[in-house]
Amino acid sequence: MSRLPERDGERIDRGRSLTFTFDGREVGAYEGDTIGSALFAAGQRTFSRSFKYHRRRGLMCCAGQCPNCLVQVDDAPGVRACTEPVREGMQVMHMNAQPSLELDVMNATDRFGGPFTPPGFYYKTFIRPRRLWPLYEKVLRHAAGLGRLRKSQPEREWQTEYRRRHADVLVVGGGAAGLSAATAAAELGADVVLADEGPEPGGRLLAEGGRDYARELAGRARAAGVELLQNAPALGTFDGLVPVWQGDTLHQVRAAQLVVASGAIEQPLLFPGNDLPGVMLSGGALRLVELYAVKPGTRAVVAAVCDRGLNAALALREAGVEIACVADLRPHGGSRGDAAKLLQRRNIPLMRGSTVLEARGRGQLDGVILGPPGSDDGAGERTLGCDLLVVSGGSAPATSLLSQAGARTGYDERRGHFALTHVPSGVLAAGEVAGVGELAAAEGSGALAGADAAHALGFGDEASRAAAERERAKPAGPNGWAAAGNAVPPPVTSERRGKCFACLCEDVTSKDIHLSVKEGYDSIELSKRYTTATMGPCQGRMCQLPAVRLMAEETGTSLADVGTTTARPPWHAVPMGALAGRPFEPAKRSSIHGRHRELGANVLWAGDWRRAYDYGDPRGEALAVHEAAGLIDVSTLGKLIVRGPDAGEFLDRLYPNRFSNLKPGRIRYGVIASDAGRITDDGTICRLDDDAFYVTTTSSGAGAIYEWFTWWLADWGLDVHITDVTQGLSAVNLAGPRAREIVQGLTELDCSADAFTYLDGKRAAVAGVPCLILRIGFVGEVGYEIHYAAAHGEDLWDALLRAGAPHGIRPFGLEPQRLLRLQKMHILVGQDTDSESNPFGAAMPWIVKLDKEQAFIGKWALERFAEDPPETALVGFRVANGHVPTEGAVVMPLDGSPMGQVTSARHSPQLGGVIGMAWVPAALAKDGERVTISDEGKRLEAEVVTRPFYDPDGEVLRS
């Protein structure tokens, strides 16, 4: 057991024990432990196997930054053990090792496969023989990737709430600088949101002895009104929109000012064996000790480039870890600082001008070689046994979000990393990410950034602005705490034996990067794509800077010239489910829908509506309409009330035919054309009175036509109001020889043939429900399309079915309706027409009134179409042999070249044969002409019919 005695500031609660399983084994933990800390405390040292070589990997950063501890938790892959809190009963499994973590057969690639798996190996080793590529691809695909997703996850339904949050200031990062920035801005009156990826605010304070102070800073922020979001990483910036992922919520934060206080990421060192379990970043070792009271090792060696490493050595010594030696790369070994003196006082040996040259061990660290960098001859080297190597290779500011927002960075020789050189307006950087690491200075930089953000938005006053200017003018203080300014850039590795990893996630070695340059991929962007360095789970946190150093060395250019790769979102891993939002499909249902279900309807999608396609017997339902009466729910129709003194003129301008001369109480069919003369929609228009029209549209076109109407109205500025009542009104169509009797029995309105003629529209109460009744005939029999308030949906439906029962009424669905309208050759816009169809080709030349006084949309184009005969025309057809052609089947005139297609086809029991509609060459658009239809290899003979198949003269309809 590596658990230390109780420590001040520890995160664990020793009074509450939990258990979970790891690869089936039970493991004990305390509340507050992470999976990583609990496993480490229980003696686990190997946490995963690396991506390509399947080498053992152990805890390294303990901050969710490196890939070494990725595990599978309860079927969710890709969980970082070092940050994921333990829950009772969790089932944790290893990833990427078969059959087990201890014995992984794929480790053979590490021992033998090196020469076969250089960068781009899938195009080298596995390129021949080419015919085996499908097999190779299967094998490689199986070997690639880290976790496993269960193919069927029935219980796991991800529901993420999208929360739109508009704020004045968004602060990313809840360390000392971020908390100070948020507090300063909020105290000046701004609405501030702070997003921090950790479980509690404080950042570095938490593991470096400042937990109480962190609580104090957080308290001040809350008191000032800052909205603090924890476990909430910011994923990226998208033109000012910052998505912050917090469990089941995706906050889409748009703030007028963005303050980024994301800190800096401690960097590893490059040397052979740098990925062995037992090699840890100093921050990682300290976090294990301070937060979880776990001893990271028994005997440690520390390799540092700055005081941060020395301070870590002291802290670990105080926690009971034996420090065998500290190697400080600086020639003077920070001799001016306190840390070196303290080391001396504790008799800890300090090697100046030295670093770690090699780490040794079989699957686990057992010793290191220290010495001056670049030494190959053994001079000045020391070999030491140890089970923990603490490395501190400087730090790299976490500038990704800032770069995504348009900031620029440049290599800073003095600090040894890429530092910010420019931030765009509206964006500020504070704290360690801006190069200010020392605690007091970081707080000051945060407070100043917060004040600047608030001032930029007009908050604050003369006094607060003056105070900010005074703060800005202060000289920079001494850099004691983080001592970033004292860092010496670590060296590149020398040519020693053993793999030296530049990118831990993708198993890219320093040799691979050198090789990529030799092969010609000599820019950082090319080399990145070729080797895949920085493309793994850490997204460059551990490897961007080392990769750039290696590239600079290999190409002989400066780091400044090599540059960095483009920063891209997401900065933090996020599950697809969190981005997908709620898994629901909005479905529209009419107010009569319940009745369709009760009647056993076959309900299917029609656009975003749920509709009854039939009630189990489409043929019988269609026949009922011919023989007795049918009732169909057509509530999905678009319905617009166009009202005003200019309403008639408005419709005349929009439609190719006239409506201003339509008498009140009469109905006319209309087709909407675009200014290119193409059919976009159709419907009926009933004039209600002198200045009001009731316009219907197709179900799927309702929204678009409403916007078409309101757009032109906005441009013309006519005295017209348009009200969309599509969803407020229900509509049913009662059709058939008995329809008149049925409806007459429910209303006092005179429905006799002479009083209520075809294309009349009348208002009356039917079964007590106030209605607008349109006598139109989409399905070819005497029919009444009844529109009424949706609240009465079921009432009227029930009344009509009851009244119709003795007459043999049947409800009918979309499918029989389609057959009935096809018998009448009534077009369905979008089915029988497409975006290029014009009224002349679609057999409706009579709807285009070119002599109309009022100019209308589409007139110019339609004048041209009127003069040029169409190439193809829409006609009906009959097929003799009983085969129903597929919609879309190609029409071939008898000379063989295709021209035209079938748009609708059905077998009609009423007519005793197969009928349909198709576009055919215009020359053949005459009764009796013959065309061939090619349908999936079959050839059908068809005869053209230009007039409706059923009741061609409309006598039945008008009776």
CB of 77 to another protein, least distance (A): 30
Closer residue to another protein (CB): 116 or 711: 711
Closer residue to another protein (CB): 116 or 860: 860
Closer residue to another protein (CB): 773 or 857: 857
Closer residue to another protein (CB): 715 or 936: 715
Interacting span for another protein (CB under 8 A) from 371-379, 707-715, 753-761, 931-939: 707-715
Which amino acid belongs to residue 824?
K
CB of 174 to another protein, least distance (A): 24
Asked if 641 is part of the footprint of another protein (rule: CB under 8 A), the reply reads no
Q: Within 13 Å and on the Cβ side, how many CA atoms surround 883?
A: 15
Name which of 217, 172, 97 is nearest 428 in CA terms.
Answer: 172
CB of 256 to another protein, least distance (A): 10
Name which of 214, 150, 206 is nearest 176 in CA terms.
Answer: 214
CB of 857 to another protein, least distance (A): 9
CB of 168 to another protein, least distance (A): 13
Rounded CA-CA distance 739/159 in Å is 49
* Rg, C-alpha atoms of the chain: 39
Asked if 164 is part of the footprint of another protein (rule: CB under 8 A), the reply reads yes
Rounded CA-CA distance 861/692 in Å is 29
Closer residue to another protein (CB): 25 or 582: 582
Q: Which of 139, 711, 791, 835 binds another protein (CB under 8 A)?
A: 711
Asked if 239 is part of the footprint of another protein (rule: CB under 8 A), the reply reads yes
Name which of 287, 292, 319 is nearest 300 in CA terms.
Answer: 319
Asked if 240 is part of the footprint of another protein (rule: CB under 8 A), the reply reads yes
Closer residue to another protein (CB): 558 or 723: 723
| DSSP secondary structure of 320-348 | T-EEEEEEE-STTTTTTSHHHHHHHHTT-
128: CB partners within 8 A, 6+ apart: none
| DSSP secondary structure of 273-312 | TTTSTTEEEHHHHHHHHHHH-B---SEEEEEESSHHHHHH
| DSSP secondary structure of 90-105 | -EEE--S-SB-SSSBG
Rounded CA-CA distance 62/278 in Å is 13
Asked if 254 is part of the footprint of another protein (rule: CB under 8 A), the reply reads yes
Q: Which of 717, 912, 928, 937 binds another protein (CB under 8 A)?
A: 717
**What angle do the packed helices 307-318 and 282-292 form, to 10 degrees?**
30
CB 811 within 8 A of CB 778: no
CB of 172 to another protein, least distance (A): 17
Q: Which of 166, 414, 474, 930 binds another protein (CB under 8 A)?
A: 166
CB of 305 to another protein, least distance (A): 40
Q: Which of 8, 26, 462, 715 binds another protein (CB under 8 A)?
A: 715
> Which residues are paired to 327 by β-bridges?
303, 351
Interacting span for another protein (CB under 8 A) from 71-79, 234-242, 557-565, 572-580: 234-242
Interacting span for another protein (CB under 8 A) from 237-245, 376-384, 612-620, 946-954: 237-245
CB 861 within 8 A of CB 677: yes
CB of 567 to another protein, least distance (A): 17
Asked if 249 is part of the footprint of another protein (rule: CB under 8 A), the reply reads no
Sign of the Cα pseudo-torsion (421, 427, 428, 432, in order): negative
Asked if 721 is part of the footprint of another protein (rule: CB under 8 A), the reply reads no
Where in 849-868 is the site for another protein (CB under 8 A)? Answer: 860-861, 864
CB of 865 to another protein, least distance (A): 12
Closer residue to another protein (CB): 116 or 716: 716
Per-residue binding letters, 187-226, with another protein (x by CB under 8 A): ----------------------------------------
Asked if 241 is part of the footprint of another protein (rule: CB under 8 A), the reply reads yes
Return the number of other C-beta atoms located less than 10 Å from residue 76's C-beta.
15
Where in 647-676 is the site for another protein (CB under 8 A)? Answer: 674-676
Asked if 568 is part of the footprint of another protein (rule: CB under 8 A), the reply reads no
- Cα separation values, 380 from 327, 340, 377, 383, Å: 12, 20, 9, 10
Q: Which of 710, 744, 854, 886 binds another protein (CB under 8 A)?
A: 710
For residue 500, report the phi and psi dihedrals to the nearest 5 degrees. Answer: -115, 115
Work out the end-to-end distance of the chain between its first and last CA atoms, rounded to an integer number of angstroms: 96
Closer residue to another protein (CB): 103 or 855: 855
Closer residue to another protein (CB): 252 or 523: 252
435: CB partners within 8 A, 6+ apart: 397, 412, 415, 419, 420, 484
CB 400 within 8 A of CB 571: yes
Q: Which of 568, 716, 768, 894 binds another protein (CB under 8 A)?
A: 716
Which amino acid belongs to residue 315?
A
CB of 678 to another protein, least distance (A): 9
Name which of 149, 98, 267, 282 is nearest 208 in CA terms.
Answer: 282
For residue 427, report the phi and psi dihedrals to the nearest 5 degrees. Answer: -125, 135
Q: Cα–chain-centroid distance for residue 360?
A: 44
Interacting span for another protein (CB under 8 A) from 87-95, 407-415, 490-498, 709-717: 709-717
Closer residue to another protein (CB): 678 or 687: 678
Per-residue binding letters, 672-701, with another protein (x by CB under 8 A): --xxx-------------------------
Asked if 163 is part of the footprint of another protein (rule: CB under 8 A), the reply reads no
Which amino acid belongs to residue 346?
R
Q: Which of 153, 238, 408, 881 binds another protein (CB under 8 A)?
A: 238
Q: Which of 129, 463, 714, 748 binds another protein (CB under 8 A)?
A: 714
Instruction: Write out the E strands in 74-178.
Output: 76-80, 91-93, 161-172
Q: Which residues bind another protein (CB under 8 A)?
A: 164, 166, 238-241, 252, 254, 674-676, 707, 710-711, 714-717, 860-861, 864
